[in-house]
Structure 1
Amino acid sequence: MSIYVKDGILHVAGAQDKLRQKGQEKPDFLTNYTMLDIETTGLSPYRDRITELGAVKVRNNQIVDQYTNLVKFPGNNRVPAFITKLNGITEEQIINEGIPAEQAIKEFREFIGDDIIIGYNVNFDLNFLYDLSQKYGLPITNNNYVDVLRLARAYYPRQHNRLIDCMQRAGIAQVEQHHGLADSLDTIKVYNDFNRHFTEDLLEKARGKIKNVDLTGDDVDYTQLGFRNPIQNKRIVLSGHLHLNEADAGKMITNMGGQSDNNVMANTNYLIMGDHDFFQHDDENLEKARALIKDGAKIKRLSESFFLGMLDDWARS
Structure 2
Amino acid sequence: MSIFVKDGVLYVSGAQDKLRKKGKEIPKFLDDYTLLDIETTGLRPYKDRITELGAIKVRNNQIVDKYSNLTIYPKSNRVPKFITELNGITEEKIMTEGVPIKEAMSEFRNFIGDDIIVGYNVNFDLNFIYDAVEKLHLKQLSNDYVDVFRFARTYYPKERHNRLIDCMQRAGIAQVEQHRGLDDSIDTKKVYDDFREHFTEDLLEKMREQIKNVDLVNEKLTPQQLGMHNPIRNKNIVFSGHIHMDVDEAHNMIYNMNGQNQDSVDRATNYLIMGDHDFFRRDNEDLNKARELIKNGSRIKRLSESFFLSMLDDWARS
1:32-111 correspondence runs (5 A): 32-111=32-111
Paired residue total: 317
* 2:243–2:305 Cα contact (<8 Å) kept: yes
CA distance in 2, matches of 1:250, 1:102: 41
- Name 1:235's counterpart in structure 2: 236
Where 1:233 maps in the other structure, the secondary structure is: coil
Structure 2, unpaired ranges of 5+: none
Structure 1, unpaired ranges of 5+: none
Aligned-pair identity (%): 68
Displacement over 3 Å in runs of 4+ = 218-222
- CA deviation vs aligned residue, 1:5-61 (integer Å, no higher than 9, x gap): 000000000000000000010111111000100000110101111000000000001
CA distance in 1, matches of 2:293, 2:77: 34
* 2:220–2:257 Cα contact (<8 Å) kept: no
* 1:271–1:299 Cα contact (<8 Å) kept: yes
**By how many angstroms is 1:69 displaced?**
0.2
- CA deviation vs aligned residue, 1:185-209 (integer Å, no higher than 9, x gap): 0000000000000001101111110
Where 1:276 maps in the other structure, the secondary structure is: helix
Asked if 1:196 corresponds to 2:160, the answer is no
Where 1:86 maps in the other structure, the secondary structure is: helix
- When normalised by structure 1's length, the TM-score is 0.99
Where 1:56 maps in the other structure, the secondary structure is: strand
Where 1:34 maps in the other structure, the secondary structure is: strand
* 2:33–2:57 Cα contact (<8 Å) kept: yes
- CA deviation vs aligned residue, 1:213-251 (integer Å, no higher than 9, x gap): 000013544421111100000001111111111111111
1:151-190 correspondence runs (5 A): 151-159=151-159, 160-190=161-191
CA distance in 2, matches of 1:230, 1:218: 18
- Name 1:292's counterpart in structure 2: 293
The letter of the residue matching 2:153 is R
- Name 2:130's counterpart in structure 1: 130
CA distance in 2, matches of 1:251, 1:122: 30
Where 2:254 maps in the other structure, the secondary structure is: helix
* 1:38–1:180 Cα contact (<8 Å) kept: yes
**By how many angstroms is 1:256 displaced?**
0.2
- Name 2:224's counterpart in structure 1: 223
Asked if 1:114 corresponds to 2:107, the answer is no
CA distance in 1, matches of 2:270, 2:63: 47
- Name 1:205's counterpart in structure 2: 206
CA distance in 1, matches of 2:95, 2:226: 43
- CA deviation vs aligned residue, 1:248-298 (integer Å, no higher than 9, x gap): 111100100000101111121111011121210110000010011111111
**By how many angstroms is 1:95 displaced?**
1.4
1:247-258 correspondence runs (5 A): 247-258=248-259
* 1:21–1:142 Cα contact (<8 Å) kept: yes
CA distance in 2, matches of 1:97, 1:246: 50
The letter of the residue matching 1:175 is V
The letter of the residue matching 1:255 is N
RMSD: 0.9
Asked if 1:271 corresponds to 2:272, the answer is yes
CA distance in 1, matches of 2:276, 2:220: 31
* 1:40–1:52 Cα contact (<8 Å) kept: yes
The letter of the residue matching 1:133 is V
* 2:220–2:255 Cα contact (<8 Å) kept: no
**By how many angstroms is 1:78 displaced?**
1.0
Where 2:276 maps in the other structure, the secondary structure is: coil
- Name 2:140's counterpart in structure 1: 140
* 1:213–1:221 Cα contact (<8 Å) kept: no
- CA deviation vs aligned residue, 1:56-83 (integer Å, no higher than 9, x gap): 0000011100000001100111111111
